[in-house]
Every structure is written in structure tokens, then in C-alpha cells.
Amino acid sequence: MKNLKLFVLLNIFCYLFTSNYIQAQDFIMQGWYWDYPKTTDGKIWADTLKDKAQELSKSGFTYIWLPPLSRTSYGNSSNGYDVRDLFDLGEYGQGTTQFGTRADVDELIDAFTTYGINAIADVVYNHRDGGLPESNGAVEGWIENYNSTKVNNGDNPYPSDRFRCILTIGGSTGYGTGDYYFKIKSMSGHSNFYNKKYKVYMWTNRVGWKGLPDINESEPNGGGDCGEGNNDIPLGVNLWAWTDDDACLTDEFRLALTSDDFYSAGDTIYIVLANENSNYSDHYIYGIWYSGTSSDIQSSLICQTYTDFTQLPSNRGGMTYMNFKPNGNPTQLSGDWDWPWFYYDYDQTVQSTKDTLFEWTKWLCQEVGINGLRMDAVKHFNPEFLGDLFDYLHDNAIDPGVVVGEYYDGNSSALKSWIDNVYAYMDTDTKSTITPRVFDFSLRFALENACDLFGYDARNLFTSSVVDAQGMNGYNVVTFTDNHDFRSSGQPIDNDPILAYAYILTNNQIGLPCIYYPDYYENGLKNKIDQLIKVHKKYIYGSSSREYLNRSGTTRNQYIVPGYGYATTTLIYQLMNTPSDRDVIVAINFAGGTDTLKVYQEVNTSNFSSGQIFTDVIGNSLSRTITINGNNEIYIELPPRSYSVWVQGEVPIELDLKIFLQGAYR
């Protein structure tokens, strides 16, 4: 054992002085995670990444995906997807964003540039949040014209947590002290919205939140329209109610307003009618009987949304409610494209919406120094927008090195269709310089199953990627194991995620690999991932063909020594036609337990013959070299939950010294 270690150390020494030039290859790191330390915690994440720039470059990373950089509605504790001021990256006297100041961003980009790293910006083209309140006739019209026919046609009610109602009182309005009877019911009366829980909260500029316990409605409270009583509602207290399913369908609440409740010179009654847990209903205020005028004053009620972005500190990126759905343009507020899944949903068919988002992207690239785009929630808007965006960027001499869409769907066919649709809207000259990519969620879910599910057939990985399942070009794909969206219990890969990395970092033709910061720095995988990247660059990059040797239905012989492994937990594949003219064979053992995999696997000998030696350049298998036998087979012994990479010929070990000294070839 002592002599073997000495032999390996000599190989490493020789490699350091004689290794060939490592070919260039791109690798992405998602340089953040959901709960990364924010400036509200006294941390500046931009500095964290800046300090690691040289190290990341040395490890082989060429792109670092940054979190959303723009100022948000939730302040500097946000994760960035509630974008408010597009053009504010921590400047204009507003203090830091969640990521840092504009100066911090500039210093980070400079450091990246120094070390040959490109910054990928996380850009949100689907939605926006945090504008000032403005009267929104389009939303009010949607609410008040909603009916059963629209329900049956698939139209959704407008989300009740994204608007408020206001009633101006005092001054010359003619409304002041007295009783206000607010009548609330389902607009459509459709059974879809029976017994939906909703909150009624009212306040004025003089009387706000009182910090008192919530109260519940008391039925029957249909009011005079139903021959029933009503409930009193105080200012500054949450009242919970349920949409009714009786003949009346009405809840009535009496607000008794005194002179101490508002400013007589002019004030406003603000009303929120929000459902619980986004379980939206179509309830609305259909009547307001005011005792002071003995009349219904509902026509004075105004609907507002927080969609006025015309008074932001950057004085750029201005929008109003006409840039969001609904605004009079055709919509059903349903499905992936029209339902406002997050905050206020852009209408990208409005020219001013496109112009603003296009200009923002141009600014990020030309003035901030961004050279890649991770596009959020692309499943939720028309791909025509991105085709037009790429044309705009190209026409302005901007060709980002990486543009990748987050189409959150495990259906490989849907992922390919999205790429095809984006291409359909791109000009011919743009297609030659900008390559749209998609994150391979289909493969990612299969990787999780292979690592975490007992009894799962790991060979499904061979047919799960969008490249293998749909014949798509790997240049249009980014592979990954986990990201910030997989953060709840049961979502991340829990068991040996290095096995998933071994697959995406050695199978070069299925996409551009993306490494997750917590796995790399916090879960102890840095050295092993660095080793795989090094192996990829030296031996695998440029391989133009591959064969999945033990795929289901293969004609290649495989013999697993009884009691030493399983076909369903073993992956063996061969990479061919590499620039170095060396074939590479990869084995991954997903089996648990304690027994070592012992397998004879027939390989493709089109580039060599029996007697050819292969070397394990990782160091996980139980022998350093193996020889192709007379049956064109390679014999592998591999511990459980491990992997090996065998390179044609006798070659130096691409072994991280720390890993080796911790027990490789033990």
C-alpha cells in the first residue's frame, strides 16, 4: 500500500510538469442560494463572490449565475424576484439592495473580468411588484363583469390579494360620519366560489392597525337585501368571512364611522378583501349604503393596484397598469401564460412593456457588464418575447455567451418545444450568434430518483434528458442537480448528490453543466467536483459520440458477479471520438449497502482492440488499470455509491491530492 501511494504521488508530480494543455470548456456555477446572507444580515454577497473569483476561475468556472440584482419591493432581505426598480442596483440614495451597492456589483464584475469569468444575470421578464397604488379601471372592469359564462370558459377571478378598494371621504365629498353598510358577494354566483375564506380589513389615514386579535363573521349576516342582520366591522382589525352558498350569497358589514376615525378635511377608507392561501374567489363589494345620504354610493368606490412605476428613484423603467394584465387586451387570466402566478403579470404584447424590458437588458449588458442571462419563469409568457429580445440585442451588437430559460417542467417534450418556439421567432442572423438554452428539469428529476429512491432503475437516466429523449442538441441545454427552488424537505437530492454530478460532468453531449454553490462550498463536494471538471476538460471535452453500454435493451453483454451489484443500479457508458483520440468509459454505482460492484461489461472496440489498457483517472475503483479481455469486456470493481472514469491508455491520475490522501485506492 505504501509503495502504491508513492507510485501515485510520482504520477501526480510528473503530471504537474508534463500534462498537455487543458482545452477550454464552459462550466456554470449558480453563485447563490435561497437563503444566502443578505445585506439586512450585515453581509454583502457581492463581496463573497468577488473574493472567490480567482479560486473559481482556477477550478474551471467560466460563468457565475448571480441572483436578481435590481431593487425589490420587499427590501434588502428579498431574494430578488419581487423586482421593483429595474435600473437600481443599489444606488440613487436608497442604500444597498439584498446583494450590495452598485459599487459592489461593479467591483465584482471587474474581478470576474480579471479572472476570465462571465457574470450571468437572473432576469425577470414575467412580473413586477411594489409600484405605487393607482386607480385601475381595467381590473375593476374585470371584477365587476365577471360571470358564470366566463367561469365556465376558463376565465379566472382577479387575485384578491393584488388590489384594494378606496372610498374618499371628508372634504367636499359629502361622505363623513355615519354608518356604511358594505355588501359583499360572489360576482358570478358560481359554485366554484362557495365557502371561500376571505379577509376584510379597513383603515383610514387616521386609524390604522390596532394590533387586536382577528374576528370572524357571524351568520346570518346578509343584511337588508336578504332580510337578515349584519356584522359590525371595526377599523384596523382583521375580520374573516366566507363567501356564502345560500340564495342570498351576501355578507354585509357595518362600519360606524365617527369624527375621531378620519381627517375631516379629507381622508380615505381603504379596504382589502384578500382570500386565504391564494384560494381566490370572485367576491366584490356590490353595494355601499351610506346613512349620511340614504343612498347607495358604491359607484364612488375605486379599485387600485400597486402598478404605478413612474416615480422611482432611477427615473427609468416607468410603467403603469396598462403594462400588466388585464388591461383591455384579450386575456383569460388562466393557464401558464395569462394567470398572474407571481405579483403583477407583464403584458409583453404591449410595445412599451417590451421597450422597457429590452432597454433594461441592454443596460445590464452594456453598462453593468453582464454577459449571460438566466431568464426566470419562461413557462409563463409567450416565447415570441424572447425571440424578439434576442434580435434586439444582436442588432445592438450584444450577443450574450449564455442565455438559459427556467422552464419548470419535467416533460422533456415541453422543454424542446419551448426551445423550438424561441428559435421560430429569431432572425436568421441572430441564430448564428445567440444560442437559447433550457434547464433540463426532466433529467434533474431522474437524477434525484436515481440518488434517493430505493428500487429506481438508474438506467432511466439514459432516456430522461431532453437530448436523449427528444434528440435535441446539447448546445441548447443546461444540466443541473439542484437549485434555489429545491429547498423544502424532500425536494433536494438528499443522498450522495456527487453521483448526479458525476453524470452531468462526464456526459458531455447532454448539456452545459451548472454547479450549485451550496453543494460545492457547503456540502463538502468542492474537491470532487474540481476533479471531475479537470477530467472533463482533459479527456472528455470534444467527444462527439457516446454509447450507453448497459442501457435497457442493449445488445452489449453485461455480467455482474452474483451478490456484487445490480443492473438497475449501474450506469456504464462510453465516450468516443475525443480530440485526444482516447475513448473514455464511465461507471456509476447507485447501489447502497456494503458490497462492491463487480461487473464485466462489453464495450465498443471500434477505436481499439482487446489487450487495450484503460486507467482510472479518478481513483475510486479498486484497481488503477484494467485491460480489455478477449470478449471485448472491461472488468470494473467499484464501491457502492461511487463512480469511476476510465481513460484509454496508461495516463497520469487526475487525482486531487486531498481526496487521495483521504483514502483513494484503499
Backbone angles phi, psi at 153, to 5 degrees: -85, -5
Q: What does the block give as the cell for 600? A: 464485466
Residue range 516-538, pLDDT digits in tens:
999 999 999 999 999 999 999 99
Cα angle value 33/36/37 (rounded, 5°) = 175
Per-residue pLDDT for 648 more than 50?
Answer: yes
> Are the C-beta atoms of residues 233 and 202 closer than 8 Å to each other?
yes
- Phi-psi sector, 565: left (phi>0), alpha (psi -120 to 50), beta: left
Return the minimum-mean-pLDDT range out of 56-60, 181-185, 556-560, 659-663. 659-663
Handedness of CA 483, 485, 487, 491 (dihedral sign): negative
Cβ-Cβ contacts under 8 Å for 571 (sequence gap 6 or more): 458, 459, 461, 462, 503, 548, 550, 586, 587, 588, 590
* CATH number of the 28-129+349-540 domain: 3.20.20.80
If you write DSSP's letter for every residue of 112-135 in order, what string do you get? HHHTT-EEEEEEE-SEE---EEEE
- At residue 97, the 3 state secondary structure works out as coil
Return the minimum-mean-pLDDT range out of 8-22, 150-164, 368-382, 625-639. 8-22
Return the minimum-mean-pLDDT range out of 1-5, 323-327, 519-523. 1-5
Q: Where are the domains of the chain?
A: 28-129+349-540, 132-308, 545-661
Please report the pLDDT score of residue 595 as a whole number.
Answer: 85
Inter-axis angle of helices 497-506 and 441-452, to 10 degrees? 140
Reported in sequence order, the residue ranges of 491-565 that DSSP labels E, i.e. its strands, are 512-516, 545-548, 558-560
Residues 168-194, mean pLDDT to the nearest whole number: 97
Cβ-Cβ contacts under 8 Å for 495 (sequence gap 6 or more): 451, 452, 641
Closest CA to 593 of 558, 560, 635, 565: 565
Burial profile 40-75: b = 16 or more Cβ within 10 angstroms, e = fewer = eeeebbbebbbebbeebbebbbbbbbbbbbbbbeeb
> Are the C-beta atoms of residues 303 and 125 closer than 8 Å to each other?
no
Handedness of CA 408, 413, 419, 422 (dihedral sign): negative
Count CA atoms within 13 Å of residue 304 on its CB side.
21
Q: What is the pTM of this model?
A: 0.93
> Are the C-beta atoms of residues 60 and 25 closer than 8 Å to each other?
yes
Number of H helices, E strands in the chain: 18, 33
Alpha-carbon span 524 to 47, nearest angstrom? 22
Closest CA to 534 of 661, 659, 664, 371: 659
**Confidence label for 11 from pLDDT (cuts 50, 70 and 90):** very low
Alpha-carbon span 78 to 581, nearest angstrom? 50
Closest CA to 33 of 521, 400, 452: 521
Length of the chain: 666
- Phi-psi sector, 396: left (phi>0), alpha (psi -120 to 50), beta: alpha
Residue range 400-458, pLDDT digits in tens:
999 999 999 999 999 999 999 999 999 999 999 999 999 999 999 999 999 999 999 99
Backbone angles phi, psi at 469, to 5 degrees: -80, -30
Task: Tell me the CATH number of domain 545-661, given options 3.40.220.10, 3.40.50.1820, 2.60.40.1180, 2.60.120.680.
Answer: 2.60.40.1180
Neighbouring C-beta atoms of residue 630, cutoff 10 Å: 7
Per-residue pLDDT for 654 more than 80?
Answer: no
- Phi-psi sector, 195: left (phi>0), alpha (psi -120 to 50), beta: left
Residue range 31-69, pLDDT digits in tens:
999 999 999 999 999 999 999 999 999 999 999 999 999
- At residue 357, the 3 state secondary structure works out as helix
Cβ-Cβ contacts under 8 Å for 449 (sequence gap 6 or more): 456, 460
Q: Which amino acid appears at position 423 of this protein?
A: Y
Reported in sequence order, the residue ranges of 519-641 that DSSP labels E, i.e. its strands, are 545-548, 558-560, 570-576, 584-589, 597-602, 613-616, 625-627, 633-638
